[in-house]
């Protein structure tokens, strides 16, 4: 049986790296791409790539690099905005499945830096889906976000809920991706699956997200900002559960269609309880600064995962207590904290 060729964008990112690690030696040819931007610590991105078996020379990473962990895994540095370059990849490797996890992330950053979101999340996304359609890929899977639900007062969030009121530009770009995806399915019959991620955390996580910011402040005895006076709830979703869910989709025989799925923990956690778990695990106490609600933020996220459970048997297995413990264990090891 011929190996399928999978293109994973954002391979040096949190979810892209974690998914790729799970697919190593699973019988695929994997082409990973990333632009390695400096939105957060680039060294963490380099270390993720190194952990995938790539020898990274930070001064020269323009050529294709082969992994030493899996001979069928390679990396190329490229922007999604480079339409000609992306099309060359499709021509060379005959891509069967696209998993688009590349995007400019961050809700608050989108307020002060809108141009990069339009460029990466809309122009880059459109380039990728256009080329995928041209080369008739079997399946186009892409990352959406729970942020598309805005400040919905209905919980849990269901895929059929109205998502026409984003409260950040980041959310608007993700909603745009869903609309563009639906159009490409209707126009060209492209088989498309969008995944609305809910606050993913865990080992190799993003330094700009609350869990990493909390630990950095806790171990350095710095003050953390707690917004909305701590009255926030998040459907914190452990990375291993998310990756397992994506794998179920990759390995499934998909009928042609356009689908949107929530993929989360289905169990929101009060922010203050989440914070207390860090203190319990480390025997340290936070210095706190309570602030009002931030522009673009939402009070609660809560994933209804009935649809993805029914279609793929997805069910998260990691409790918030287990997840925080594993995350702290990794953090201490990575940052050499005794």
Q: Which fold has domain 4-203+236-267+300-317?
A: Rossmann fold (3.40.50)
Task: Kindly state the average pLDDT of the residues 298-320.
Answer: 94
Task: Please state, rounded to an integer, the average pLDDT across all residues of the chain.
Answer: 94
Question: For residues 139 and 133, what is the distance between their CA atoms, to the nearest angstrom?
Answer: 10
What is d(CA 141, CA 258) in angstroms, rounded to the nearest whole number? 10
Query: Where do the DSSP E strands lie in 65-179?
Result: 65-66, 73-77, 97-100, 139-145
Q: How far apart are CA 279 and CA 335, in angstroms?
A: 18
Question: Which residue in the list 170, 184, 201, 238 is annotated as catalytic?
Answer: 170
Q: How far is it, in rounded angstroms, from Cα 269 to Cα 263?
A: 16
Q: So where are the chain's domains?
A: 4-203+236-267+300-317
- Does pLDDT of 102 surpass 90? yes
Strands 97-100 and 139-145: parallel
Whether the per-residue pLDDT at 37 is higher than 70: the answer is: yes
Q: Which two structure tokens, joined as six digits, stand for 336?
A: 């050499």
Let me know: does 75 contact 32? Beta carbons within 8 Å: yes
Q: What is the DSSP string of 200-221?
A: EESTT--TTSHHHHHHHHHHTT
The alpha carbon torsion through 269, 271, 274, 279 (nearest 10 deg) reads: -160
Question: DSSP label at 226?
Answer: E
Confidence category of residue 227, pLDDT binned at 50, 70, 90: confident
Q: What pTM, to 2 d.p., does this model score?
A: 0.95
| Average pLDDT of the segment spanning 116-121 | 95
Average pLDDT estimate for 308-335: 97
- Cβ atoms of 278 and 332 closer than 8 Å: no
What count of residues does the chain have? 338
Residue 291 has pLDDT above 90, yes or no: no
Q: Is 184 a catalytic residue?
A: no
- At 125-151, the pLDDT tens digits run 999 999 999 999 999 999 999 999 998
Query: From the centroid of its chain, how far is CA 126?
Result: 18
């Amino acid at each position: 049986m011929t190996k399928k060729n999978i293109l994973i964008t954002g391979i040096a990112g949190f979810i892209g790296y974690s998914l790729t690690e799970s697919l190593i030696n699973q019988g695929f040819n994997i082409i990973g791409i990333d632009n390695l931007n400096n939105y957060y610590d680039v060294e963490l991105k380099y270390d993720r790539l190194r952990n995938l078996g790539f020898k990274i020379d930070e001064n020269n990473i323009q050529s294709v690099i082969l992994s030493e962990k899996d001979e069928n895994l390679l990396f190329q540095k490229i922007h999604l905005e480079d339409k000609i370059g992306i099309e060359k990849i499709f021509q060379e490797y005959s891509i069967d499945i696209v998993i688009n996890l590349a995007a400019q992330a961050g809700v608050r950053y989108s307020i002060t830096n809108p141009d990069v979101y339009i460029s990466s999340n809309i122009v880059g996304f459109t380039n990728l889906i256009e080329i995928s359609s041209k080369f008739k890929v079997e399946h186009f899977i892409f990352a959406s976000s729970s942020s598309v639900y805005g400040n919905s007062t209905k919980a849990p969030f269901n895929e059929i809920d109205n998502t026409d009121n984003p409260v950040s530009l980041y959310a608007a770009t993700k909603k745009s991706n869903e609309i563009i995806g639906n159009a490409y399915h209707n126009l060209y019959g492209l088989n498309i699956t969008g995944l609305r991620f809910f606050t993913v955390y865990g080992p190799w996580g993003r330094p700009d997200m609350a869990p990493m910011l909390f630990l950095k402040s806790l171990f350095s005895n710095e003050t953390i900002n707690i917004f909305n006076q701590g009255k926030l709830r998040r459907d914190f979703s452990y990375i291993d559960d998310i990756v397992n869910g994506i794998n179920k989709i990759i390995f499934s025989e998909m009928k042609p269609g356009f689908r949107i799925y929530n993929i989360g923990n289905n169990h929101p956690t009060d922010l203050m309880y989440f914070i207390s778990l860090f203190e319990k695990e480390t025997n340290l106490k936070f210095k706190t600064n309570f602030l009002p609600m931030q522009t673009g933020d939402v009070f609660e996220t809560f994933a209804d995962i009935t649809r993805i459970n029914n279609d793929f048997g997805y069910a998260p297995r990691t409790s918030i207590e287990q997840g925080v413990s594993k995350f702290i264990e990794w953090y201490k090891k990575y940052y050499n904290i005794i």
